[in-house]
């Protein structure tokens, strides 16, 4: 019993002992994901695959279908912008 208690004493007890790595860079992906089945399928697959790669290679991945986020304030948080299945339609974007 004493041996178990000693061994458990070496395990991290709280979150302070575990470090969360800051992502190297942040990615935002814009998509529409409507109408064309191939585009819808691609968006679904991309939104599964990119988070896996983000975890593996230490970057963050977000995605949105809200094209009004295509503005300087929102984009300032990201270093990479992807368009998964379409491009901005608004001239200002």
pLDDT digits (tens, 9 = 90+) for 40-93: 999 999 999 999 999 999 999 999 999 999 999 999 999 999 999 998 888 777
Does the structure show a pLDDT above 80 at 2?
A: no
- pLDDT recorded at residue 16: 52
Does the structure show a pLDDT above 50 at 24?
A: yes
pLDDT digits (tens, 9 = 90+) for 4-19: 444 445 545 444 555 7
As a whole number of angstroms, the distance between CA 29 and CA 76 comes to 14
pTM of the model: 0.74
């Amino acid at each position: 019993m004493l041996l178990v208690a000693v061994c458990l004493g070496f395990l991290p007890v709280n979150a302070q002992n575990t470090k969360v790595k800051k992502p190297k860079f942040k990615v935002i992906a814009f998509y529409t994901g409507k109408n064309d089945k191939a585009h819808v399928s691609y968006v679904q697959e991309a939104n599964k695959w990119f988070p896996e790669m983000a975890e593996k290679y230490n970057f963050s991945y977000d995605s949105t279908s809200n094209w009004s986020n295509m503005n300087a304030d929102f984009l300032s948080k990201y270093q990479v912008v992807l368009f998964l299945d379409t491009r901005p339609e608004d001239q200002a974007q």
